[in-house]
Amino acid sequence: MSTEILLHGRTFRVYTIEQLPALKLQMLNWANPFNICCFMDNHGYQESLHSYECLLAAGSWKKFSEKAGTALPALRLFLKENSDWTFGHLGFGMKAETIKSSTQLPDPIGFADCSFFVPDTLVLVRENNLLISSYSMEAELVYRQLMDSPRQLDTQGPSATLEAVMSAEDYIRRVEALKAHIHRGDCYEINFCQEFRAKNAIIDPIAVFNKLVSISPNPYSVFYRWENRYLMCASPERFFKMEGGKIWSQPIKGTAPRYADPERDARSAEELVASEKERSENVMVVDLVRNDLSMICKPGTVEVDELFGIYSFPQVHQMISTISGQLQEGIDLVDVLQAIFPMGSMTGAPKKRVLELIEEYELVQRGIFSGAVGYCTPDGRADFNVVIRSLMYNQEDRYLSCQVGSGITWYADAAREYEECLLKVAAIRKALEPIR
């Protein structure tokens, strides 16, 4: 037997579930035919701010895509006209609207700067409940189709090999040039990224995503399709969450490798929290986030809930801090995005100057990378990730891209920063290896 509930303005039918891992694969297989869809997976991480184990938004009941310039006013109007659950993304190019920082770099993937949609069908999983809402089908039909979908994904198909666009020598030269800017006082810290790519790549995006998250099952993972462009994301980082008039942001700054030997692994985590370079990098972004939130929060309410928290994921240890605040009356999602995008962990400080240096020293537009994917509800709730540890795929052009970066400070060793980039891309390369 199933029951109906009203959740954040939308009616859902509720079913009891048992085999969650199999259900997630069925949800992905069921979503495959839709040309717009978003699957968000928490991978069982237990954390007080999480609301759902996974969400699937499939099919666009209403949608819009805009270039940076007037995208945020268009988003506000779209949300006002469609009082509903809404999913979508902001690409890094939105900095042209929020910080007045434009770009002339090439964009090989081609996601729009800002795209959002009201899903035709919405499937939520929390605890042992499956919640289904659909405008075009009966919930019971969606449920039966989900249960009849395959419980495995195609593991065959062509593989691809990611090649670095920037040589190690060129990367080191650019990092040293950025350190010279820091020495001159142009900035304090900068997130510098490089691209790894494969041309003429033919992949099965859902199969690659499934393999990627099986290697790195991180709590803000997203499979996102907008027509012929795909994002396969295994992000460990939350950009922000809004709920009940409060906002939280959880920037990551600080990375250390995991090891099979428990003693060496524990020592790696201890070295991370003791690192002067990593701590200084982390506190800089915390100060930046505190400043961003102060523009939209009530005076005196912005707090650092956790500083230098060490969280262990399958591939790496991460240093994560949590900052929160009480939102001012009348602040909506668009106000929040205008104040805090792009996220400090993917820029540096001060934002305006750092974005100019990113434009000068990086080779391609970041696109959806360094942006955010998430959802909002008509009662003021929202949850967005930071798009990192990801593959971006332009299916039409057969162009596959992965970007990785690290925070550059005066203490940075360029060769070690390059090694950190290789560490971050290693799991992504494994996801593209052929099945043996």
Query: Does 216 map to a domain?
Result: yes
pLDDT at residue 157, as a whole number: 60
Whether the upstream peptide bond of residue 150 has omega within 30° of 0, thus cis, is no
Phi, psi of 171 (to 5 degrees): -60, -50
Pairing status of strand 316-326 against strand 303-312: antiparallel
Query: Does 284 map to a domain?
Result: yes
pLDDT at residue 158, as a whole number: 63
pLDDT at residue 154, as a whole number: 64
Q: What is the pTM of this model?
A: 0.96
Number of domains in the chain: 1
Query: Does 420 map to a domain?
Result: yes
The letter for the amino acid at 413 is D
Query: Does 116 map to a domain?
Result: yes
- The catalytic position among 95, 179, 253, 351 is 253
> What is the residue range of 235's domain?
3-431
In CATH, what number is assigned to the domain containing residue 421?
A: 3.60.120.10
In this predicted model, what pLDDT tens digit does every residue of 179-195 receive, in sequence order?
999 999 999 999 999 99
DSSP state of 156: -
Whether residue 208 contacts residue 418, with contact meaning beta carbons closer than 8 Å, is answered with: no
Contacts of 132 (CB under 8 A, 6+ apart): 12, 13, 15, 121, 122, 123, 139, 142, 143, 146
Buried b (16+ CB within 10 A) or exposed e, 408-425: bbeebebeebbebbebbb
Catalytic residue at 237? yes
β strands within 165-228, DSSP E? 189-198, 220-226
Question: Element (H or E) spanning 38, and its range?
Answer: strand 36-41
The letter for the amino acid at 12 is F
* Residue ranges of the chain with per-residue pLDDT less than 70: 1, 154-158, 435-436
Catalytic residue at 97? no
Whether the upstream peptide bond of residue 342 has omega within 30° of 0, thus cis, is yes
Query: Does 289 map to a domain?
Result: yes
- The catalytic position among 97, 189, 195, 237 is 237
Contacts of 35 (CB under 8 A, 6+ apart): 225, 226, 227
Closest CA to 374 of 135, 116, 129, 125: 116
Query: Does 436 map to a domain?
Result: no
